[in-house]
Amino acid sequence: MKAESWGAVVLAGFFLIVAPVYWFVSHEIIGTVALLLSLAFCAMLATYLTIQSRKIDPRPEDRKDAEIVDGAGELGFFPSDSLWPFWSALAVAVMALGPVFGWWLTLLGAGIGIWAVTGWCYQYYRGHYQH
């Protein structure tokens, strides 16, 4: 997690330098506030990642004496291909067309959305990938 925390620190430093320069060049409040909020976000992220990197054991990419074989093994869980994101996106599209063509489309999209999100959440409880 050290590489990630250093990336967030570098971004926070960038926004720390850019925000006052932007203010002095443009005298525009909204852009300055956006840059300051970006600075705050990066600072919070850097703080969180630094604290977490001290709590966990170093990963192979964080150690200088690590070998390639130290990173071998299972990388994590990757979900299979699924059609549920398509149905969820279709539901959002139908709901977005509701104010244009009629509010009944919004209700239809909400029904499709409930069905699609439920199927997406429970796709690993049935079929080939059942737990």
DSSP labels, 6-65:
HHHHHHHHHHHHHHHHHHHHH--HHHHHHHHHHHHHHHHHHHHHHHHHHHSPPPGGG-TT
Residue range 39-90, pLDDT digits in tens: 999 999 999 999 998 888 877 777 888 888 887 888 777 777 889 999 999 9
| Count of domains for the chain | 2
Range of the domain at 52: 2-63
- Judge if 56 and 100 occupy the same domain: no
- Judge if 28 and 59 occupy the same domain: yes
- Judge if 40 and 90 occupy the same domain: no
Residue 76 lies in a domain: no
Residue 68 lies in a domain: no
Residue 74 lies in a domain: no
31 or 68: which carries more pLDDT confidence?
A: 31
pTM (two decimals): 0.55
Residue 79 lies in a domain: no
